[in-house]
Amino acid sequence: MAAAVILRQYEEMEEEIEEGEIGSHVYERANFLAITQTIIDTMISTPLDHSLANAAYWITIRQEVYYALTRQRAPQIRFGLERCQNASVANTMVIFASEVAKWRWGLKQPQEWEHLRARQQQLHHDYLHELTPILEQNSDRARGNMFPTVWYSFDAQVTAIQHLKLAEMILIAESPYLENARGALHRKAEAQVRNIVLFLCGIASNHPRCQPALVNAVIAITLYGEYFTHQEERDALLGIINRTMELHAWPMRKAYQSLQRQWDMLDNVEI
């Protein structure tokens, strides 16, 4: 199980690298998606009382949520939500983020948005005491700091709040009420989304030892970085992407280029 999780990680990361020949041989990808789905199905039907097995199970789910958000597609794995009823706070938020991703890149039914939005607000209320940071300060833009200062005691709190905020950000940006709304409502939604992106980047900047924190911040940037028009904020967001590449050797080329294209298009539009 652990080996399959690791191999799928490499498999998905290689999609970010240009496909082609390695030497004189054409590299053919194996499909570990089916293998990881088997892991989940097995753990649902016959749970193993083993810490490594449980860790592999939850990492498999987190992987799929990550791939759904970065590839901007609905999750391709069935999770078995009944097994998640007694999950930790962090895993509860990961599962919720998967539900939002499934809605966003699925049918996007308005009535489902209502349910998810109510669920997000309920989760925020129920776990507020567990997700309150030990320190939170606004950004100091006069000193060139675009991100707020946010400190948490444990990595699990970082994972939980970041996934909850990612889900909230998507629900705000993709609200069905924006379709026929006036410009003021659009501007309000965009401002809320920008604040969430900056908040996620602030968390990542203040928790360098929590490796997924930077990756989650990059996900937020790639999803809605186009909402930023001020160059200082854009430079700060690119700094998060560059830092992720430097620290974790994460393939960010496509995300970087896509964001630059979106900004170029926005800057070249005549009003």
Q: List pLDDT tens digits, range 136-195.
A: 999 999 998 999 999 999 999 999 999 999 999 999 999 999 998 889 999 999 999 999
For 91-122, write each residue's pLDDT tens digit. Answer: 999 999 999 999 999 999 999 999 999 999 99
Instruction: Return d(Cα 262, Cα 256) in angstroms, integer.
Output: 10
Strands (E), 24-104: 25-26
Greatest extent of the chain over all pairs of C-alpha atoms, in Å: 62
Q: How many residues would you count in the chain?
A: 271
Q: Report the pLDDT value the prediction gives residue 119, as an integer from 0 to 100.
A: 97
- Angle at which helix 211-224 crosses helix 253-267, to 10 degrees, equals 30
Range scoring the smallest mean pLDDT among 21-25, 58-62, 111-115: 21-25
Q: Is 56 left (phi over 0), alpha (psi -120 to 50) or beta?
A: alpha
Q: Report the pLDDT value the prediction gives residue 26, as an integer from 0 to 100.
A: 41
Of residues 269, 203, 262, 257, the one with CA closest to residue 228: 262
Of residues 148, 144, 139, the one with CA closest to residue 207: 148
Instruction: Return d(Cα 31, Cα 35) in angstroms, integer.
Output: 8
pLDDT classification of 13: cutoffs 50, 70, 90 = confident
